[in-house]
Chain A
């Protein structure tokens, strides 16, 4: 059984008992425990079930690399799935639930998959669920969906808050072990600003557990003193519980700080995402121990040797009472020695090396531990707990020499530097034959803007595994970082670390070396995704020789732990299976984040109302108070319609159209883009921007213009008013103001930079109201002021003046076909002007109208709308707008493109009006059918609906569409199938449905 012991426990406070629940069962631990150490102390060895076979699993590691012990933490709006018990600090009231089982952790129906594992090999899903096709939707998918997924999705909105924090530093040190601390110290001594991130709650990393001395003192003392020294330096910032999550281009890095996960009642944001810019980044991220691949290496109680040592030394937890240690290196002997001196029986050390280890082996032997060299684990027996180990020869096929009863196994396959952060931004690796691991290749670092490497690995992350080497390497890394950041490193010597000399390891990728198929099918590589040695070998056999392909085929390393334990073992297995070498096989790509980070941290403050800013016109509040049914248009909100009590949206739109056509309506047109183009070359410039001639426009006049991109397609339209000789005011669509402003600037700055023109975006400077309808003039005259009579101001003219007490610029333009004045007033006067119009208009029955009424009225008049009639593939010629294209101009943006062969193709679909035979409304976007089918067996088409509305004016559905040879086919009836199963018949007609001669707008 696993229990708390009297010795050790450097991180726990035995005076402070902490209560928590696991699967509803009340349990107790100590302050300083992790959830995993507290569960182990309570003999709760099984912590979850595996993903595919639902095998019982316990913690195999003690830190961030843990693949098995994933929990759902918290409840309700604070529930979070897939949290590692090994990195979860215990607090009073913590609630944890294990995952991947039904109905319970102890008895699980899905475990039948384990019995069937022979029939669920690599690629099973790809192979099995292809045929018959129809089964996918109705049988396979629902069943697989039920079984798939890791953890449970939280039910409600996340109750916590999150924040982003931007920071700049000369040197960023990732990792707060002895390497990180020493690197920080040597970098900071130069005067450089240094930020140190440590993912756990404790400084010092592994060194205090692993032993050894620094300058004659214990590692714990060195850590305490160095942290105190760094804390006292004004140029150093230390953050623990803050993981270096990713390294990106040009020294950008993300830190993921867990502020209140360990103290949920503390208040404030739960996580903070650090967005860091560093001149140099030191990755002192340590190393991770590799499991050994033997049969039954996933049985609860089998643990990494270093993890077992951690549980003993840090939390005073013995995962078993009778332990077998299996290793290919000296380091695992430390675990055996620690176990033995803590009063735990160490039954055997099975050392795969035929000649065993060095001084640590002697020390273990002196303690009376039996050491069998050249021996291996043939198989671990046990279900929810290790029961016994079959010992065999490492060089054999697994024939058992003896069966030893035990309750825990510590394994060590050597150490792999944590190279993730080095690799995120393109740092390359080299294979270190002697230590059997990949480490950063100093010749091929990730490079920054200056062309120099900006990531400097330090200590174990750089392949230095002994204390003295770690400290020396880290000291140098800190100095290199400071130098790279532009500082002069101080002259100082690295502290001297002393540990026992270790004998070389012997790579062991399968235990025993020639394990038979039966054993290989129980030797796990990737615990979380249930990938075994047999799966990788099968993939190789089926031709998946690239590590990237094997990864995807077997899902090796694709779980939430990203293969921290499985990566090297997996690719060594692949290399062996295809008769290649490990460096030739190479690694898969390391991608950020290092361990999963919360979605909340990524979003930060950008959620809810501040996810995206909302732009408001000066009249926004009035609309809101008067029934506005909002429609998002770009970042604006515009009233779609104004709803009255009990009125449907449709009825409101119809009312607004009728009232505007019969009396007078008001539209808030403030969102229309207003770009001022000014300078001696303004006319020449606009002649290039618009398809029609703008330079000939007289001051006081307006002209409708079309704008195309350089490849000929319509991008915007609007009315241009010439203010004076050198000044034009260009109206753009609501969504187009910023885009068209940028378009103008691009051409001015990058092509015609010698032209004297300035562009200013005045969109928000003015409130603009369209006063529309037969009574529009009467309403404005009631307010009094400037002369707006037909004689004083003709259609398509503008004037400055005053209306009542308002400073007005009045454009006599119409997008509805009615008598219409668009009045611009300074934004500060907008609301008062609107209210004055509403007051004065009461006797004329004035009503505000929204964007939908605007759309209906423009469609009745056959006016196009950018984004409806255009979609980025439509040229003005398609829309019958040839009249707005100047024939006289030598050049304008889009002119050359519109002469390309497919642009002049007579079979391009052209704009027409469409009138349903029975008066119904055509479905939007519907296609007109043609004879026959295309190469894909789909029905041929000959046109599509671009705008469609119910017209209250005509009492029937009206539409516009693009149709093959449309203008030549007036009167023909086309068929439009809807998504409702009905087919609509519509006749091709002229697109102007209302007041073809324009008499109403010209009065």
Chain B
């Protein structure tokens, strides 16, 4: 029973108000893409023990989507932020790095 802060309406929402939406920051592949790219877009998901970026919807609240950066093992929440972005904002990456020294975002490895 997580609590996540909805960045859209400002409410600290109980998990019962939220609907999970899987991994965040997927890039959509449409017509013309290779079978492999499209397959990965549809089905291949990260499942890390540790830092993870997720999509959530404040379904029984403001109805808006947002993103959460959290640790799947300790349940620590580093930040929640707008869903209208293709990758985590620098402030979010900084917040994670402060708590998990040595951790890097996928482009930075």
Contact = CB atoms under 8 A, between A and B. Distances in A.
A746 B57 contact: yes
Residue with the greatest number of chain A CB neighbours at <10 A, chosen from B30, B59, B71: B30
B2 A449 contact: yes
Contacts of B2: 249-250, 449
Given A252-B1, A897-B38, A899-B31, 16 more contacts: A250-B2, A447-B74, A447-B75, A448-B75, A450-B76, A450-B77, A451-B74, A742-B57, A742-B59, A745-B65, A746-B65, A749-B83, A753-B83, A890-B31, A891-B31, A896-B30
Nearest to A751: B28
| 8 A-B pairs closest in CB distance | A451-B76, A252-B1, A753-B84, A449-B77, A447-B74, A749-B65, A250-B3, A248-B1
A449 B35 contact: no
Interface of B: 1-3, 14-15, 21, 28-33, 35, 38, 42, 55, 57, 59, 63-65, 71, 74-77, 83-84, 99
A633 B99 CA distance: 49
A703 to B, nearest CB: 22
Contacts of B65: 745-746, 749-750
Contact of B3 (A449, A451, A891, A897): A449
A571 B55 CA distance: 42
A900 B38 contact: yes
Given A891-B31, A896-B38, A746 B21 contact: yes
A711 interface: yes
Nearest to A890: B31
A978 B33 CA distance: 45
A776 B84 CA distance: 49
A498 B3 CA distance: 43
Contacts of A451: 71, 74, 76, 99
Contacts of B55: 750
Contacts of A897: 38, 42
A277 interface: yes
B3 A277 contact: yes
Contact of A749 (B31, B71, B75, B84): B84
Contacts of B76: 447-451
17 contacts: A249-B1, A277-B3, A447-B74, A450-B77, A710-B42, A711-B42, A742-B59, A746-B57, A746-B65, A749-B84, A750-B55, A753-B83, A891-B31, A895-B30, A896-B30, A897-B42, A899-B31
A249 B38 contact: no
A572 B81 CA distance: 49
Contacts of B57: 742, 746
A251 B55 CA distance: 22
Nearest to A449: B77
B64 A749 contact: yes
Nearest to B77: A449
A751 B65 CA distance: 11
B55 to A, nearest CB: 7
Contacts of A449: 2-3, 75-77
A896 B36 CA distance: 12
A98 B87 CA distance: 63
Nearest to A712: B42
Contacts of B31: 890-891, 895-896, 899
A587 B33 CA distance: 51
Interface string A862-901: 0000000000000000000000000000110001110111
Contacts of A750: 21, 55, 65, 83-84
B72 to A, nearest CB: 11
Contacts of B29: 896
B64 to A, nearest CB: 6
A899 to B, nearest CB: 7
Interface string A600-640: 00000000000000000000000000000000000000000
A953 B63 CA distance: 46
Contacts of A901: 35
B18 to A, nearest CB: 12
A447 B65 CA distance: 26
Interface in A900-915: 900-901
Contacts of A745: 63, 65
Interface string A977-994: 000000000000000000
Nearest to B43: A711
Given A749-B83, A753-B84, A900-B35, A249 B75 contact: yes
A447 B72 CA distance: 11
A451 B70 CA distance: 10
Nearest to A753: B84
Nearest to B28: A751
Contacts of B77: 449-450
Contacts of A742: 57, 59
B58 to A, nearest CB: 11
A901 B75 CA distance: 40
Nearest to A248: B1
B54 to A, nearest CB: 12
Contacts of A448: 75-76
Interface string A741-776: 010011001110100000000000000000000000
